[in-house]
Structure 1
Amino acid sequence: MDLSAARRPSAGTLSRRSALAGLAGILGISATACSSGTAGGSTSGSEGAAGFPLELANCEATLTFDAPPQRIVLLESAPVTTLDGIGVLDRVVARAGVFPPGYYDEELDARVEEIPTLSDDIDASGHLQISQEMVIAQTPDIVFGLPDGVTREAMADAGAQVVVQDIYCGTDDERASFETLYSTIATYGRIFDHAQEAEDLTAALTDRVTAVSESAEALRTTTAAVLYPSLGGGPLYTYGAGSMVTAQLDALGIENVFADTAERVFEISSEPLLAADPDVLIVLYQGEGDGSDVTAEMTTQDQLTGLRAVQDEAVLPLLFNFAEPASPLVVEGLERIHEWLLEIEG
């Protein structure tokens, strides 16, 4: 997810309205069909598609789809590769926020750039600035993301269902795994009546995860921490068991030194990080560039130069959506982390 879906966490679990700027989570995966049919092959969104009307539990809400949605508005970047992977990205009529080209290959980036932009106005804390009237004017029937100023109720009155990443709901009781991603893809497949495309995408991603996991058995790195530094001297955050970064490290056979915390993301001081002293650091960042400026600022402002990873230059800047939330980009992120570890281990 990009800066447009930003929320800031409290000291406890995340709530939907107070999650960290730039942090995202997973789509709700509990869905039941109101009719007796089940979602089958693609029907191009025609009325009477099998499995519709469809009810979908998403955070505190129950979404209802009378037919597969045809007009998508993106208020976050995270869904792009899933929508593309199941063949419905051409239904996106507008987008808002930041969609870094570093996430996509040249062809996909060109298609994303062709989507009309409603707003790329991001405040200093990473929040998308947009009015819900601007969103409603696009006559969507589905909206991904719920920035401040946009409500489910207003969107529903205008005929649009809002899909929020489940991570915003404060569900911190389960350890994330790649099954989280596969369930998300399956849910997208149900929403758009592209179940077969969702299965094919999951199969391809599963093969890639398996290949990395098998190759990673030879890695010598044993511990890691994944950090999200706030710019301008703000708090430092790290990731616990509920984050997809833990799923990535598990696949690599590496211990997330903060995975004993159930929360997905939480504020951390330098002391416990220095005490854990992980072999490597992965630093998540947003926007343009290679992230080296972000890591340099972080290690300076948080007095982390004493960490072995910093001294050994074992610090990887990684664009946020390559680690969070659950999308095909986290598989590419897994591959990138693996390649980087092979390089630094020589």
Structure 2
Amino acid sequence: MSHRSLAAARVGRRTALAGLIALTAAACGPGSADGGGPDGGGADAGATNGFPLELTNCEATLRFEAPPERIVLLESAPVTTLDGIGVLDRVVSRAGAFPPGYYDEDLTARIEAIPALSEDIDAAGHLQINQEVVIAQRPDIVFGLPDGITREAMRGAGAEVVVQDVFCGTDGERASFETLYEEIDTYGRIFGRAGAAEELTGALQERVAAVSESAKDLRTATAAALYPSLGGGPLYTYGAASMVTAQLDALGLQNAFADTAERVFEISSEPLLAADPDVLIVLYQGEGDGSDVVEEMIAKDQLSALRAVQGQQVLPLLFNFSEPASPLVVDGLERIHEWLHEIEA
């Protein structure tokens, strides 16, 4: 089956699995019909409790006097977490790529309504933007720290910068879905939405558990995730600290490069051919189904001898469906699971 036909076939199976998981969540979800959170009221109860708030983010200590009201997004990954805890309407501007393939029609429309500062992405997938453009938006919180943006300048303009924890370095710790749940908890604390954060985490935990249970009959044993740079740049793969490893662990698969502690690192064709994993996941950014990215990667990096390539067991997947930690990684887990069942059928 070609990469394009696999992309089309995934739609029907994803719909069926989504219905199964929705029924599972309805049957055993912890929330009640009145929306009450574990703090005794609604998800917003006591929203200003806990402020001023100080927390550590990478090498920095962040301080918030009150829940932020003006968000600037310099990456797409936080979107579904912010939406899940009910604060996406506080985003005043965005920059970077926000492919509609990540979201349903309603969320896509809301994102497109947010003013875009820049959509300039280099070949490695990095946002190009001027710091003064960001400061002009008068944010009190900024998500993402691309080249040319500094915490010091943002703080001087009244904004704290939040970076995804997986980008901070993990001291060799293996990533798990706890990484995601901790990230959601942090967002809940920052915005005074602890109850909403717990509800979101509970729903995601149920979905992960449903996929793990269904994946027990998979025959596939090993996988690797790759990120090919566009325009002839290096090829990257993902190690133990990546959310790719968390996804594969949940599916009962071995990441062929999980013995490397790094989250992401360059790889040549030789170690990839030596590992020869059963399946490949190719992460990409931008529009389309990613089949052109796969074809270019195979030709450029001389990977046609891989079993996964010869058997057409290669899945193109939009980047945020595997990296970094966000609810989209659970969507990605479900997509990988559905695809594995398709190729084993």
Is TM more than 0.5 here?
yes
Deviation at 1:178, TM superposition (A): 0.3
The amino acid of 1:63's aligned partner reads L
CA distance in 2, matches of 1:338, 1:171: 26
Identity over aligned pairs, percent: 79
Deviation at 1:172, TM superposition (A): 4.2
Q: How many residues matched?
A: 306
Give yes or no for contact 2:166–2:325 (8 Å, CA) kept in 1.
no
- SS of match in other structure, 1:156: helix
Structure 2 equivalent of residue 127 of structure 1? 126
- Deviation track 1:47-78 (CA, whole Å, cap 9, x = no partner) reads xx211110010111100000000110000000
Structure 2 equivalent of residue 204 of structure 1? 203
CA distance in 2, matches of 1:182, 1:171: 16
Structure 1 equivalent of residue 136 of structure 2? 137
- SS of match in other structure, 1:242: coil
- Deviation track 1:311-346 (CA, whole Å, cap 9, x = no partner) reads 000000000000000000000000000000000001
The amino acid of 1:323's aligned partner reads S
Which of 42, 53, 56 is matched with 2:44 structurally? 42
Bigger Cα displacement from structure 2, 190-199 vs 232-241: 232-241
- SS of match in other structure, 2:147: coil
Structure 1 unaligned regions, length at least 5: 1-37
- Deviation track 1:82-137 (CA, whole Å, cap 9, x = no partner) reads 00000000000000111000000000000000001111122333332221111111
Structure 1 equivalent of residue 287 of structure 2? 288
Normalization by structure 2: what TM-score?
Answer: 0.86
- Displaced runs of 4 or more, over 6 A: none
Give yes or no for contact 2:237–2:264 (8 Å, CA) kept in 1.
yes
1:248 matches 2:247: yes
Structure 2 equivalent of residue 52 of structure 1? 51
- SS of match in other structure, 2:316: strand
- SS of match in other structure, 1:330: helix
Report 1:225-244 matches (<5 A): 225-244=224-243
- Deviation track 1:173-228 (CA, whole Å, cap 9, x = no partner) reads 10000000000001100000000100000000000000000000000000001111
Give yes or no for contact 1:224–1:278 (8 Å, CA) kept in 2.
yes
Structure 2 unaligned regions, length at least 5: 1-38
Normalization by structure 1: what TM-score?
Answer: 0.86
Taking a change above 3 Å as real, the CA distance of residues 125 and 261 of structure 1, as seen in their structure-2 partners, is closer
- SS of match in other structure, 2:109: helix
CA distance in 2, matches of 1:228, 1:50: 42
CA distance in 1, matches of 2:103, 2:252: 27
Give yes or no for contact 1:172–1:264 (8 Å, CA) kept in 2.
no
Structure 2 equivalent of residue 112 of structure 1? 111
Structure 2 equivalent of residue 214 of structure 1? 213
Structure 1 equivalent of residue 147 of structure 2? 148
Superposition RMSD in Å: 1.5
